[in-house]
Amino acid sequence: MKKYSIILLVLVSMMMSGCYSHRVIGYLQEPTKTNKLPQYDSAAYEPYRIRVNDEIIYRLITMDETMSKMLGSNNSNVSSQYANSYRVHSDGTIDLPFLKPLKIQGLTEVEAQDTLKAAFREIIPDADVKLALYNKYFSVIGDAHAGRYYIYKEKMNIFQALAMTGDVMNSGDRRHVRIIRPRDDGEEPEILEFDIRTNTIIDSKYYYVYPNDVIYVARTKNSFYKVPTYSGFISLITSSVALLTTVLNYVAFIYK
């Protein structure tokens, strides 16, 4: 009877600690008395502002035949389209063909687009400009399928970003996710640390992902003792019980 009591105790202990529970890996959880999750305040979304070393890509559209030839268009009957990427210099300016240096550091994409359009219209009355950030990527390292991923929409949130990577691994520490966010050239990057499990992360300052962000997910300290799947858990229990039974029978045989 004592032998079976020991086996039962071991099984209960393994069931309590051997698998990843919803409390550990679940998202959008509400705080409870037994699960005290952090509460984050809502924060208004701030559009990304262009920084030094960013690259922009623009398209200039005009029906001007002279400019069409200068820009390399082979068809003067349609709008010419000119696209290229340009890096923002340390003084916050970019150098574009036919224009003096334009300062766009600190502007949003829309504001930078309007600035370029106004400058081109001084020499091309019908000029229209479409502008976008060229280096619109974020990176992921740690236990979340590391890689570099493209930000395909404005206001991409942390869940959409991690979904592109295939989600955080079960062994990832969801309590201490970090975002390393660069600032202007010469400034220390900002490091944001948060618990991604709480439902109050929505619309908080941790919710949105910006270009050049690095998302870091560390491995939990006790992940070595966890099993990722139910079948693995059953296999672990079976092998452990078999080993324990063998040891107990051997000990009983010795002291018989």
Residue 42: pLDDT band (50, 70, 90) is very high
Count the Cβ atoms, other than its own, within 10 Å of residue 198: 23
pLDDT at 69 over 90: no
Domain boundaries, the chain: 2-19+227-254, 22-48+136-223, 55-133
pLDDT of residue 34: 82
55-133 has the same fold as 22-48+136-223: no
Q: pTM for the full model? A: 0.75
Task: Tell me the pLDDT tens digit for each residue of 122-140.
Answer: 999 999 999 999 999 999 9
Give me the pLDDT at residue 78, please: 44
Express as a percent the part of the chain with pLDDT over 90: 59
**Could you tell me if residue 34 is left (phi over 0), alpha (psi between -120 and 50 degrees) or otherwise beta?**
alpha
How far is residue 158 CA from its own chain's centroid?
Answer: 6
Q: Please give the residue that has the higher pLDDT: either 7 or 88.
A: 88
* pLDDT greater at residue 242 or residue 152: 152
More confident residue, 17 or 34: 34
Which has more pLDDT, 157 or 230? 157
CATH code, residues 55-133: 3.30.1950.10
What per-residue confidence (pLDDT) applies to 32? 84
Is-contact 191 206, C-beta < 8 A?
Answer: no
Residue 84 or 164, more confident: 164
CATH superfamily entry for domain 22-48+136-223: Outer membrane lipoprotein wza domain like (3.10.560.10)
pLDDT single digits (tens) 171-212:
999 999 999 999 886 789 999 999 999 999 999 999 999 999
The whole-number pLDDT of residue 242 equals 63
Banded model confidence at residue 75, pLDDT cuts 50, 70, 90: very low
| pLDDT exceeds cutoff 70 at 81 | no
Whether the predicted pLDDT of 57 surpasses 60? yes
DSSP string, the chain: -HHHHHHHHHHHHHHHHSB--HHHH-SSBPP-SSS----------------TT-EEEEEEEE--HHHHHHTT-S-TTS-EEEEEEEEPPTTSEE--TTS--EE-TT--HHHHHHHHHHHHTTT-TT-EEEEEES--EEEEEESS--EEEE--STT-BHHHHHHHHT---TTB-GGGEEEEE--STTSPPEEEEE-TTBGGGTTSTTSB--TT-EEEEPBPTTGGG-BSSHHHHHHHHHHHHHHHHHHHHHHHHHT-
Average pLDDT over the chain, rounded to an integer: 82
Q: Does pLDDT of 82 surpass 90? A: no
